[in-house]
Amino acid sequence: METLSERVKSSGAIALVLFLVAIGYWLLDAVFNLPEEVQRVRVGDRIEDFVRWLRDAIPAFFDAIETILGNPIDWLESFYAWPPVIAFAIIAAALALWLRSWQFAIVAVLGFLLIDAMAQWGRAMETLALVSVATVAALILGIPFGILAARSQVVSLMVRPVLDFMQTLPVFVYLLPALFFWGVGTVPGAVATLIFATPPGVRLTELGIRQVDQTTIEAAYAFGATPNQVLRGIQLPLALPTIMAGVNQVIMLALSMVVIAGIIGAGGLGNEVLRGVQRLNISLGFEAGISVVILAIFLDRMTEGIGRKASRSLGLA
């Protein structure tokens, strides 16, 4: 393992190199008075060329993604909208009663009835369908990468800057290539949501597995357990509370991004918020926003309840 002093030295060396490069570039510009076209580093042009090349090189790949994400979203929209509102609210209350408490069951029923009373039910179900698909896809990608990062320092070092890039890049930038590949609709919104929501799943899965007591792991190896047995029987169960916190964060980020994705025609409550902003319609904007809040609170409490139930069944709480 790299010590703290070694990390400080390596970071200092990198900073020194970057400083010298910056000074050299400044001196070159000062001496030769470089024109603006030479000074500018056209990173954006190269990225645009790469995106265009991807679209032309592997169109079948993007068609497959459209099918993989688009069909489940369409199916879930129909499924969520199929039962009457009161039936959906009763089912939600039953889940809330089982996972949380009777008080929250009442809150859930009142919340969903309020969404219907504000005439936002159909849009809310569209948003819920998109969030469901994007969350599942983000977890399918995120949890395995988190496991790999926890078991390999090399993978962890490679994944970390990618996650930093995904989390710090302005969210609207995700919409540009998504629009370019799939046009306006729910699929580009789902892809942008997937990219934005995946990092917490990776980070918290890795963190949870790394926090497992090494003594317990060494004891398992001493009794002849294989690495896969240790992962399935010890590391994942003990890391479950942290992993569930990651699931919760993935859902919350997906819900926040879905609203932004309304700009590119993803539909749902995001489209209603956008219409409210465009028309300065405070009523419409707040009704759609309150509906988003109700969905967020319900999903947050449900995932928290699932985590608690799982922890209790494993004897961790």
Question: HSE on the CB side for 34, CA within 13 Å?
Answer: 12
Confidence at 75, pLDDT banded by 50, 70, 90: very high
Instruction: Classify domain 58-82+118-313 by CATH architecture.
Output: Orthogonal Bundle (1.10)
- Residue 190 and residue 133 in contact, taking contact as beta carbons nearer than 8 Å: yes
Write down the pLDDT at residue 212: 87
Given this model, what pLDDT does residue 41 score? 62
Q: Which residues contact residue 26 at a Cβ distance below 8 angstroms, ignoring those fewer than 6 apart?
A: none
The pLDDT score that the predictor gives to residue 29 is 59
Under DSSP, is residue 32 helix (H, G, I), strand (E, B) or coil?
helix
Average pLDDT value over all residues in the chain: 83
**Mean pLDDT for the stretch of residues 35-46:** 64
Average pLDDT over residues 264-268: 81
pLDDT classification of 4: cutoffs 50, 70, 90: very low
Of the listed ranges 114-128, 136-150, 176-190, the least confidently predicted one is 176-190
For the chain, which residues make up each domain, given as ranges? 1-40, 58-82+118-313
Which pLDDT does position 76 carry in this prediction?
A: 92
Are 250 and 257 contacting, i.e. CB atoms less than 8 angstroms apart?
no
pLDDT band (50, 70, 90) for residue 106: very high
Q: State percent of the chain over pLDDT 70.
A: 85
